[in-house]
Structure 1
Amino acid sequence: MDQIQTGKFIAELRKEKSLTQAQLGELVGVTNKTVSRWENGNYMPDLAVLQSLCAALDVSINEMISGRRLDEADFRRQADNNLLLSLDQAQRMRREYKLIDFFTGAGTGLLVGALIAPDSTRRSVVIAVSLIMIAIGQVTQWRFGKQLMGLLDKAR
């Protein structure tokens, strides 16, 4: 998905319909500044308004995501490509979420086990390792949340 290309496509379609940014924004429930941000390639339309935007501009969602009009063959090929990209991104996010669960869960389990064990050097090492695992899990979770927020911002 190319934000710049999609933005230019939105501007082109809006002008074909002889609409101002404010008029298009009113049709889909956003401000003219939001439409401007889309057209400049700063943001992508939010999923909540994508369907109404496509309806207002008489294009398919697949064409909007592709940033151009598609003939029948291109439409099918691009639909497959968009689906594969979405599935790949979802798979990467699931793997990262499992990694977060592993580090925080295993780290917490080790910590609880070590805290009830008798004092020893081994106990201190296990506590240190478990705290490091929990920290890795938390940092990964923070990055995961940041990545999700970035995706949401791009969608807007």
Structure 2
Amino acid sequence: MNQLTIGKYIAKKRKEKNLTQIQLAERLNVSNKTISKWENGNCMPGYSVIEGLCQELSITIAELMDGEDTKQNSIRIYDEAQMMDLLKRTQQLEKQKNILYGILLIMLGIGLFVISRTVMIVNFFSGLLFGAAIAIVLAGVYCMIYHIAKN
């Protein structure tokens, strides 16, 4: 799965249907910026809109994931239900990974905080570690809240 290839395929099929990004977005109940992100390869469509997207573009899920029309002689190993399940699981793992990054940042920040309070070599370095600890904890909290709120 190459996001850029899939994005170009979405744009191609949308144009073949004489749809603007705004029209397609309205039909799928997403923003036109979301369509633009898909077409530029910045992100993938969520599993909840893929079936609707495929219906609007008159393509199969397999064609979408391949980023090209199915060849006449091609053989598929997975059916569309399996592909949707795989995509759903992949996106869930991506969300979990981002939350895990937030947790790791918070733990790293707490570790730096403890080090800054126990190792008083020079007040400057202690203060520097303390400031870095706060920044890292805040980044971790932001990362977790952003990804939880996004979903």
TM-score between the two structures when normalised by the length of structure 2: 0.52
1:26 is the counterpart of 2:26: yes
Cα distance change on mapping 1:10 and 1:28 into 2, 3 Å: same
The answer to which of 23-32 and 65-74 deviates more is 65-74
RMSD (Å), alpha carbons: 3.2
The structure whose RCO (Cα within 8 Å, separation 6+) is larger is: 1
Rg comparison, structure with higher value: 1
Cα distance change on mapping 1:9 and 1:78 into 2, 3 Å: farther
CA-to-aligned-CA distance 1:94-121 (integer Å, 9 cap, x gap) = xxxxxxxxxxxxxxxxxxxxxxxxxxxx
CA shift at 1:40, angstroms? 0.1
Alignment check: 8 A CA contact 1:7 1:38 kept: yes
For 1:58, give the aligned amino acid.
S
Point out where structure 1 has 5 or more consecutive residues left out of the alignment. Answer: 94-141
Counterpart-to-counterpart distance in 2, 1:5 and 1:75:
20
Cα distance change on mapping 1:52 and 1:74 into 2, 3 Å: same
Cα distance change on mapping 1:21 and 1:48 into 2, 3 Å: same
Which residue is 2:63 aligned to? 63
Alignment check: 8 A CA contact 1:38 1:44 kept: yes
Cα distance change on mapping 1:66 and 1:79 into 2, 3 Å: farther
1:40 is the counterpart of 2:40: yes
Counterpart-to-counterpart distance in 2, 1:78 and 1:17:
27
SS in 1 for 2:74: helix
CA-to-aligned-CA distance 1:75-100 (integer Å, 9 cap, x gap) = 525769x86xx49x87xx7xxxxxxx
CA-to-aligned-CA distance 1:40-59 (integer Å, 9 cap, x gap) = 00010000000000000000
Which residue is 2:50 aligned to? 50
CA shift at 1:71, angstroms? 2.1
TM-score between the two structures when normalised by the length of structure 1: 0.50
1:4 is the counterpart of 2:7: no
For 1:19, give the aligned amino acid.
L
Alignment check: 8 A CA contact 1:21 1:36 kept: yes
CA shift at 1:2, angstroms? 0.4
The structure with the greater share of residues assigned to helix is 1
